[in-house]
Every structure is written in structure tokens, then in C-alpha cells.
Amino acid sequence: MELRQRALQVLCIADPQLKALQARELQGSAASFSIASDRPAEPREPIPGRPSRPELIHPSQVARRSPFKAEGLAALLHAIAHIEFNAINLALDAVWRFDGMPDAYYLDWIRVAGEEALHFTLLREHLATLGHAYGDFAAHDNLWSMCEKTKDDVVARMALVPRTLEARGLDATPQIQDKLRRVKTPEADRAVDILDIILRDEIGHVAVGNHWYRWLCEREGLDPVAHYDVVARRYDAPKLYPPFNEAARKQAGFSEEELRALSSSPGAGAPG
């Protein structure tokens, strides 16, 4: 079988545990697959494969609970697990959907899918120690909604999913870890350790997005900074609020010009 066809098959798996397992297996065997120049035919079943739970609601309706209580810690970990589950789908979608990219692009996003699957698995297993499973809490669908919006525009996809929505995790993770350290329980400490792994890998994932966004801009004769503003308006990207994790963003390949533009954006002066 060909790599992009296999990525689509894994994307269509609804069972979260099986999807994560097969995404990690695909990461390990990716080099043995051929890579087709044309995308596979879209299947009849829904894309992406997702379980019937969690219930998906508007972000403003998602309950916020204190991690200083057991139920609140579980809810927080569930919210992060939901992001990681969606991130598996986002990476697999980037592989099967977009034609005309170098082989390295497809292999990069297969690696990202496998690492996101590891993150989801670590969180799912930790949730189980707290007496909960993925699907026990309601969640929102913002990540996949942007994926849908940009399905016909690979430049916008690279600009707005890894470099915008996923890069927000670089800013938020240290703040979450600080709060969890104040909880001072073994369960919270384990969550901090998992988030260390996630933050390390997510810097690399955002770097993949930065690399391919710039590669595409160069191919199409676009200025990366100016064109970002164009696609952010076109696809109604969320405004980004400080504080920004500039050290992590620099590691992920954001330029000084991009960081200055971020700090001077309309959202940067508003409370987060």
C-alpha cells in the first residue's frame, strides 16, 4: 500500500486507542511505503473518523474546573487529550489531502501524527488512573474546524494550523505546568512530566509548519509575514494574546520579524 492511502485509512478510524496505535505503527514503517503524487480517492465514510464521545459544544460552554480538585484535574487532562487526538487527525489529513509536495513533507507529517498519538496515549493512560476515559467530558471542535476551512489551501493550512492554533500550546503549556506544580499531588506531578514531553515535541511540530509554510511561500512568490495577515483575515483565524513563549517560538523557527508582528497584533494588547 501507498503512504497517503494508508494515512487516510488511519484518519478514518473512529476508535481513539486503535487510531493512536496505528498512527504510531505508521510512523515506524513510513520509510518502507511508496508516496503517490496524486491523493487517494476520498472514501464514503466520514472524515475524520471520530468516536461518538466526547460531546462537541461551543468553546464558551466548555466548563472550567480547578485542577486542585480531582475532577478538575481530570477535566484539564481530558481537554489536552482532546487537542492531541485532533492533532493526530490534522497531521494525517495534511498527508493524504495535499498534492504536489516533496516526499519529505509527507514523511514529516507522518512523524508528527505518530508523536501526537504518543501524547494522546500518555494522557489517556493517565486519565484512566484518575478513573476517567477520553469522552467523559464535553469538548470543542475549533482545531478541526480550521482544518475544514483550509482544506483547499495548503499555504493557509500550514499558516493557520501548526503555526497558529498549535503554536498556542507553546505559550499555554508552561502556564498550565506552573498551576499543576502548585497542586502538589503525584497525579499532578505526572501530568507535568507528560506536558514536558508534549512541549518538547510540539516545538518540533510547529517547526515543521514553519518550514513548509516558508517553502510554499517561496515557491509561490509570497512574503511569509505579509501573506500570514492575508490568510488570517480570509479564514478568520483567532487573535493571539500574550504572554507568548518567545523562547519556544524561536526554537520552532519563528523569525524576529514574526515575533515583533505577533507582539504588535490587535490581540496582543488585550487580556488573555
Which DSSP string do the residues of the chain spell out, in sequence order? Answer: -BHHHHHHHHHT---HHHHHHHHHHHHHHGGGSB--SSPPPPPSS-SS---S-SPB--GGGS----TTSHHHHHHHHHHHHHHHHHHHHHHHHHHHH--S--HHHHHHHHHHHHHHHHHHHHHHHHHHHTT--TTSS-B--HHHHHHHHTTT-HHHHHHHIIIIITTHHHHHHHHHHHHHHHH-SHHHHHHHHHHHHHHHHHHHHHHHHHHHHHHHHHHHT--HHHHHHHHHHHTTPPP--SPP-HHHHHHTT--HHHHHHHHTSGGGGS--
Cα 123 from Cα 145, distance rounded (Å): 23
The contacts of residue 31 (CB under 8 Å, 6+ apart) are 107
pLDDT tens digit sequence for 67-109: 999 999 999 999 999 999 999 999 999 999 999 999 999 999 9
Read off the pLDDT of residues 202-229 as tens digits, 9 standing for 90 and up: 999 999 999 999 999 999 999 999 999 9
Report the pLDDT value the prediction gives residue 48, as an integer from 0 to 100: 77
Residue 121 has pLDDT above 70, yes or no: yes
Task: Report yes or no: 188 and 236 within 8 Å, Cβ to Cβ.
Answer: no
Q: Is the pLDDT of residue 240 over 70?
A: yes
Q: Give 265's pLDDT tier (boundaries 50, 70, 90).
A: low
pLDDT at 177 over 80: yes
Residue 267 has pLDDT above 60, yes or no: no
Peptide bond preceding 54: is omega within 30 degrees of 0, i.e. cis? yes
Residue 272 confidence (pLDDT): 29
Beta bridge partners, 2, equal 34
Banded pLDDT at 271 (limits 50, 70, 90): very low
pLDDT given for residue 270 in this prediction: 36
What is the overall mean pLDDT for the chain?
93
What percentage of the chain carries pLDDT values higher than 90? 85
Q: Check residue 44 and give its pLDDT.
A: 74
Residue 65: the pLDDT is 82
- Rounded to whole angstroms, the Cα distance separating 139 from 79 reads 7
**For 27-62, how does the pLDDT look when each residue is reduced to its tens digit (9 = 90+)?**
999 999 999 999 999 877 667 788 999 999 888 888
